[in-house]
Amino acid sequence: MTSSAAAIPAIHQPAERRALWRSILIHALLIGASILMLYPLLWMLSGSVRPQDEIFGSSSLLPSSISFDGFVRGWSGLQVSFGKFFLNSLIIAVLATIGNVVGCSITAFAFARLDFRGRNFWFALMLGTLMLPYHVTLIPQYILFLQIGWVNTFLPLIVPKYLATDAFFIFLMVQFFRGIPRELDEAAMMDGCSPWRIYWKIMLPLSLPVLATAAIFSFIWTWDDFFGPLIYLNDINTYTIQLGLRSFVDSTGQSDWSGLFAMSTLSLIPVFLFFLFFQRLLIEGIATTGLKR
Amino acid sequence: MATTSIARPQAGVRPEGGGLLHRLFGRQPAGYLFLLPWLVGFLGLTLGPALASLYLSFTDYNLLESPNWVGAANYVRIATADPRFVAAMRVTLLYVVLSVPLKLVFALLVAMAFNRGLKGLPLYRAIFYLPSLLGSSVAIAVLWRQLFAGDGLVNMALWQLFGIEGPSWISNPRYSLYTLVILSVWQFGSPMIIFLAGLRQIPVDMYEAANLDGASKMRQFFKITLPLLTPVIFFNAVIQTIDAFKAFTPAFIISDGQGGPVNSTLFYTLYLYQEGFGFFRMGYASALAWILVVIIGAFTAFSFLSARYWVHYDE
């Protein structure tokens, strides 16, 4: 710095120019990649408002005219309207999400804060279920729910969540609860607070970030779930949106693209809204916990 | 703890060795009340069913008649006389081996392009993340089916750009699996975010020191970035591999639930579904499930053992 002020620009200029070119190159690559990534989604969106005869033979994103016929045809394209499928999905997703948050947080509170015999034993077993593929419980669970008459009801998709069967969320919450200072609940306990009140009045209010993360991911996963509904829901009146879409593919085959794209687009809207409004929470959730989606 | 002696009766905390309740359940028996929902779920929906399926895997249970013990017959048939099992295994392994490394390479490359104080990062990150958030839904599988159909977007683009007439990718057994690999790679967003978080953990002064020593960017990548990132690579690889073994929805939608054409998209889970819920061979499907557990378990154990030799945990 001190030797020669005039020499500095001469030395740094090529480097700066190189950095500029580098950054232009990186942006060009990223913009190109972004277009490639989004093109299929935009194509679906534009396909949903395209006049039906135009989809074939067009890879462009701009339809010649906008038509909402696809939405109208698609909405009542099956014997039961898509409104019913949306309602079913919404009921299942909301109740399952509440169940996951309540069930897992109560369990996590016991593991993180209460001192009872056998806690470490149960905790180890809980961690063990993290690695267990759902395939091994699938068939006996199905037989069980069949025998108690729950097939073709929403119950098999909802009730297990209240029993904290999703070990991943328990683990997530235990980690978070352990980060809350113990002095808080010890002081409350000295004041005669019951464990229930500590859970309800201290832990839950202090854990809103992790509860929100768990709630959002539960909702999205339940909304997108295809396997569970496929097995348990056979009556078209109980279909979720994912099953409805699948039937729509089967019944129209390749003939009604705009109707199919219109319903596909609609089915993505709830997840997309979460993406718009809770993006930071989603990304932080993944970055800090390694959630897989 | 000293505080317990002051605790009032409703506090749920009582001195050690109080009553029978405490001798049975420990210092805070209330813990079991909180644990009750999970215990019921664990015993009734996880442990019980897992043991039941282990038992069923040694029977010929078909949902209509009561199960008959057949010994290891299901396993013997899977190992020696089931061409569809072999096909499913081949398809699934090929899918894992192709999709996981490609996905991770893309995720890492993009994360590295991001890491240098890039302008517009939040927007790019959001764009690249979106497919992996939406990707598991039926709508995206439906979209993929239309993209790679004979008259789909891919072939239109090929025709308009290069004058090439492409085949129907999804109904050609030579290509159908690769369309699913592309679908999986398209969803590189979440491993990318995890890589991004990992890259941020690497201290900047390591690169500064390397720059002073005149180390090239290439050398810095192989000597600093890659070694320090190995724990994250390991994590992503294990999670993505287990996930790839369980893939189901896209193959089901693209092949109308058949795993075709010619078993070319017969993912393991799809095969298990067909046996269990298409043909109601519940015993046989249970055996398939346990084989999957063994495969995933062996893979995970192998990963953790191998980690000793290539994952750096020295921080």
Q: Does B194 touch chain A (CB under 8 A)?
A: yes
Query: A270: distance to nearest CA of chain B, Å?
Result: 10
Contact B302, B248 (CB under 8 A): no
Going by pLDDT thresholds of 50, 70 and 90, the confidence category of residue A290 is low
Q: Classify residue A83: in a domain, yes or no.
A: yes
Res A11: pLDDT: 52
Nearest to B277 among A41, A126, A231 (CB): A231
Which tokens belong to A86? 């949306």
Answer whether A293 sits within 8 Å of B63, measured CB to CB.
no
Q: Are residues A195 and A272 in the same domain?
A: yes
Nearest to B10 among A106, A194, A223 (CB): A194
Q: Are residues A63 and A121 in the same domain?
A: no
Last residue of a domain, one of A72, A94, A125: A72
Q: Are residues A251 and A233 in the same domain?
A: yes
CB pairs under 8 A between A and B: 297
Alpha-carbon distance of B278 to B62, in angstroms, equals 11
Nearest to A37 among B35, B131, B296 (CB): B131
Number of domains in chain A: 2
Answer whether A117 sits within 8 Å of B26, measured CB to CB.
yes
Type of residue numbered B80: T
Last residue of a domain, one of A17, A42, A72: A72
* Chain B residue with minimum CA distance to A31: B124
Res B57: pLDDT: 96
Domain, as residue range, for A63: 7-72
Q: Does B105 touch chain A (CB under 8 A)?
A: no
Q: How far is CA B299 from CA A17, A131, B26, B277, B311, in A?
A: 49, 12, 38, 27, 16
Res A254: pLDDT: 61
Q: Does B124 touch chain A (CB under 8 A)?
A: yes
Q: Classify residue A2: in a domain, yes or no.
A: no
pLDDT in tens, A142-197: 999 999 999 999 999 999 999 999 999 999 999 999 999 988 888 888 888 888 99
Q: Are residues A52 and A110 in the same domain?
A: no
- CB contacts under 8 A, B 163-182 vs A, are none
Q: Are residues A113 and A250 in the same domain?
A: yes
CB atoms within 10 A of CB A190: 16
Q: Are residues A179 and A60 in the same domain?
A: no
Q: Are residues A158 and A253 in the same domain?
A: yes
Res B19: pLDDT: 80
Q: Classify residue A128: in a domain, yes or no.
A: yes
Which tokens belong to B196? 């991004």
Answer whether A114 sits within 8 Å of B30, measured CB to CB.
yes
Q: Are residues A39 and A22 in the same domain?
A: yes
Select the more confidently predicted residue: A255 or B203: B203
pLDDT at A291 over 70: no
Q: Are residues A130 and A57 in the same domain?
A: no
Q: Are residues A36 and A142 in the same domain?
A: no
Answer whether A226 sits within 8 Å of B132, measured CB to CB.
no
State the best of B3, B99, B123, B138 to mutate against chain A, taking most chain A CBs within 10 Å. B138
Contact A245, A263 (CB under 8 A): yes
Mean pLDDT of chain A: 88
Type of residue numbered A190: M
Alpha-carbon distance of A222 to A74, in angstroms, equals 23
Burial environment of residue A233 by CB neighbours within 10 A (0 to 12, 13 to 18, 19 or more): buried
Going by pLDDT thresholds of 50, 70 and 90, the confidence category of residue A70 is confident
Q: Are residues A265 and A206 in the same domain?
A: yes
Predicted confidence pLDDT, tens digits, chain B (315 residues): 334 444 444 444 444 456 888 877 888 888 899 999 999 999 999 999 999 999 999 999 998 888 999 999 999 999 999 999 999 999 999 999 999 999 999 999 999 988 767 888 889 999 999 999 998 899 999 999 989 988 888 988 888 888 888 888 998 999 999 999 999 999 999 999 999 999 988 888 888 899 898 888 889 999 889 999 999 999 999 999 999 999 999 999 999 889 888 899 999 999 999 999 999 999 999 999 999 999 999 999 999 999 988 888 764
Q: For every residue of chain B, which 3-state class applies, written as one string?
A: CHHHHHCCHHHCCCCCCCCHHHHHHCCCCHHHHHHHHHHHHHHHHHHHHHHHHHHHCCECCCCCCCCCECCCHHHHHHHHCCHHHHHHHHHHHHHHHHHHHHHHHHHHHHHHHHCCCCCCHHHHHHHHHHHHHHCCCHHHHHHHHHHCCCCCHHHHHHHHHHCCCCCCHHHCCCCHHHHHHHHHHHCCHHHHHHHHHHHHHCCHHHHHHHHHCCCCHHHHHHHHHHHHHHHHHHHHHHHHHHHHHCCCHHHHHHCCCCCCCCCCCCCHHHHHHHHHHHCCCHHHHHHHHHHHHHHHHHHHHHHHHHHHHHCCCCC
* Chain A residue with minimum CA distance to B241: A292
What is the per-residue burial (b if ≥16 Cβ within 10 Å, else e) of B50-80? bebbbebbbbbbeeeeebeebeeebbeebee
Q: Are residues A134 and A213 in the same domain?
A: yes
State the best of B146, B201, B255 to mutate against chain A, taking most chain A CBs within 10 Å. B146
The pLDDT of A244-256, averaged and rounded, is 81
Tell me the percentage of chain A whose pLDDT exceeds 70. Answer: 91
Res A56: pLDDT: 58
pLDDT in tens, A110-146: 999 998 989 999 999 999 898 889 999 999 999 999 9
Answer whether B239 sits within 8 Å of A264, measured CB to CB.
no
pLDDT at A54 over 80: no
Answer whether B134 sits within 8 Å of A264, measured CB to CB.
no
Last residue of a domain, one of A49, A72, A95: A72
Asked if ipTM goes beyond 0.85, one says yes
Is the CATH number 1.10.3720.10 carried by domain B82-310? yes
